[in-house]
Amino acid sequence: MNAPLIDPFARAITYLRVSVTDRCDFRCVYCMSEQMTFLPKKELLTLEELDRLCTAFVDMGVQKLRITGGEPLVRRDIMTFFQGMSRHLDSGALKELTLTTNGSQLEKYADALYAAGVRRVNISLDTLDETKFAEVTRWGRLPQVLRGIDAAQKAGLRVKLNAVALKGFNEPELPQITRWCAERDLDLTWIEVMPMGEDMGDTQRIGQYWSLKDVRAEYENHYTVTDLPESTGGPARYVRLEETGQKIGFITPLSHNFCESCNRVRVTCTGEIYTCLGQEGSADLRAPLRASSDGDGLLKQAIRAAIGDKPKGHDFDYSRQQVAGKMTRHMSHTGG
Binding mask 66-105 for ligand SF4 (x = CB under 6 A): ---xxx------------------------------x---
Least spacing, CB of residue 190 vs ligand SAM, in Å: 10
- Per rule CB under 6 A, is residue 336 in the interface with ligand SAM? yes
Which residues are CB-contacts of 179 (< 8 A; sequence separation ≥ 6)?
none
Q: Does 252 bind ligand SAM (CB under 6 A)?
A: no
Q: Which of residues 316-335 bind ligand SAM (CB under 6 A)?
A: 331-332
Judged by CB under 6 A, does residue 71 bind ligand SAM? yes
Q: CB-wise, 47 or 298, nearer to ligand SAM?
A: 47
Q: Which of 164, 241, 248, 285 binds ligand SAM (CB under 6 A)?
A: 164
74 binds ligand SAM (CB under 6 A): no
- Dist CA 137 CA 34 (whole Å): 10
Q: Which is nearer to ligand SF4, 146 or 225 (CB)?
A: 146
- Please choose, from the candidates 224, 225, 126, 237, the residue with its C-alpha nearest in 3D space to the C-alpha of residue 172: 126
Spatial separation of the C-alpha atoms in residues 178 and 18, rounded to whole Å: 29
**What gap in Å lies between CA 21 and CA 67, rounded to an integer?**
10
| Distance, CA of 179 to CA of 212 (rounded, Å) | 18
Choose the binding region for ligand SF4 from 65-73, 189-197, 217-225, 312-320 (rule: CB under 6 A). 65-73
CB of 100 to ligand SAM, least distance (A): 4
Q: Quick one: how many helices (H) and strands (E) in the chain? A: 11, 13
Per CB under 6 A, 170 contacts ligand SAM = no
Interface with ligand SAM in residues 190-229 (CB under 6 A): 191, 193-194, 196
Q: DSSP letters along 250-318, please?
A: EE-TTTS--GGG--EEEE-TTSEEES-TTS--EEE-HHHHHH--SSSHHHHHHHHHHHHT--S----B-
- For residue 228, what is the enclosing H or E element? strand 225-228
Q: Residues with Cβ < 8 Å from 320, sequence gap 6 or more?
A: none
Rounded CA separation 328/170 (Å): 26
- Would you count residue 68 as binding ligand SAM (CB under 6 A)? yes
x-or-dash pattern for ligand SF4, window 122-141, by CB under 6 A? --x-----------------
Determine the straight-line distance between the first and last CA of the chain, rounded to whole angstroms: 29
Q: Which stretch binds ligand SAM (CB under 6 A): 63-71, 268-276, 279-287, 297-305?
A: 63-71
* Of 24, 106, 113, 161, the one binding ligand SAM by CB under 6 A: 24
Instruction: Return the residues of window 98-127 that contact ligand SAM according to CB under 6 A.
Output: 100-102, 124
Of 273, 262, 300, which is closest to residue 13 (Cα–Cα)? 262
- Of 31 and 62, nearer to ligand SAM (C-beta) is 31
Maximum separation of any 2 CA atoms in the chain, in Å: 60
Which helix (H) or strand (E) segment is 112 a member of? helix 106-115
Asked if 235 touches ligand SAM (CB under 6 A), the answer is no
The residues in 2-31 that bind ligand SF4, with binding defined as CB under 6 A, are 24, 26-28, 31
The binding site for ligand SAM (CB under 6 A) comprises: 24, 30-31, 68-69, 71, 100-102, 124, 162, 164, 191, 193-194, 196, 331-332, 336
